[in-house]
Chain A
Amino acid sequence: NAGVTQTPKFQVLKTGQSMTLQCAQDMNHNSMYWYRQDPGMGLRLIYYSASEGTTDKGEVPNGYNVSRLNKREFSLRLESAAPSQTSVYFCASSEAPGAGEAFFGQGTRLTVV
């Protein structure tokens, strides 16, 4: 089972460039999430989609946009990358918003120079 698939795994951007991180899940989950993980900060929620057709801001949404393309796919876009967005990004999915088990993708290591 593929589970949650994220692309790309690694990316280096120059300040001001844009990019989209792709995420797809094959578990028929309703809810999908984007987190970033920084040293000493833990995982922080950027945006989430409780169900297909809805998206909402999490704790740290500034500088990001998302699209829930369909039930399977949830993309994260950086319109104008900044060095502060250097981080490891994880996509995750769960059956429902209140489900305790979230399944994570392998992560995207993004460096903005």
Chain B
Amino acid sequence: RKEVEQDPGPFNVPEGATVAFNCTYSNSASQSFFWYRQDCRKEPKLLMSVYSSGNEDGRFTAQLNRASQYISLLIRDSKLSDSATYLCVVLMNTGFQKLVFGTGTRLLVSP
């Protein structure tokens, strides 16, 4: 079983739609959680951290369910510029602290 699992997509949505991505992680001792964004042929960049209480940054909302080992990202009012791959990332301590990346979920927003 992969340490971090995501639906690879692609998710094809029209502009203005709301879309949600999910992610599950295997290590219940995982400490911190993040969403990164990666544009085509570019490097990953931090989008937002995920807090236990849930957090919102503009059109983006991230939630964490530790009991189910599940993380989500909700994007409201999708823009063309949101088209990218969204990486679920978990900080794990397996002898050393490391960021474990999911394979990513691809989002395509169309006019």
Which residues of A come within 8 Å of B, CB atoms?
A: 35, 40-45, 48, 50, 56, 58, 90, 97-98, 100-102, 104-107
Where chain B touches its partner, the secondary structure class is strand
Main secondary structure of the interface of A (DSSP, over half): loop
Query: Whole-angstrom distance between the alpha carbons of A97 and B94 in the complex?
Result: 12
Q: Is B98 an interface residue (CB 8 A)?
A: yes
User: Is B27 located at the chain interface by the 8 A CB criterion?
Assistant: no
Known: A90-B43, A104-B45. A50 touches B87 (CB 8 A): no
Q: Which residue of B lies closest to A109 (CB)?
A: B41
**B53 at the A interface (CB under 8 A):** no
B91 touching A100, Cβ below 8 Å: yes
Interface residue from A40, A42, A97, A105 paired with B97 (Cβ < 8 Å): A97
CB-based contact B91/A98 at 8 Å? yes
| Number of inter-chain CB pairs below 8 Å | 52
Measuring CB to CB, which residues of chain B are less than 8 angstroms from any residue of chain A?
4, 8, 31-32, 34, 41-46, 49, 87, 89, 91, 93, 96-99, 101-104
Residues of A within 8 A of B99 (CB): 45, 100, 102
* Alpha-carbon separation in the docked complex, A75 to B44 (Å): 20
Whether B43 lies near A104 (C-beta < 8 A) is yes
Given A98-B91, A100-B32, A100-B91: A45 and B98 interface contact (C-beta under 8 Å): yes
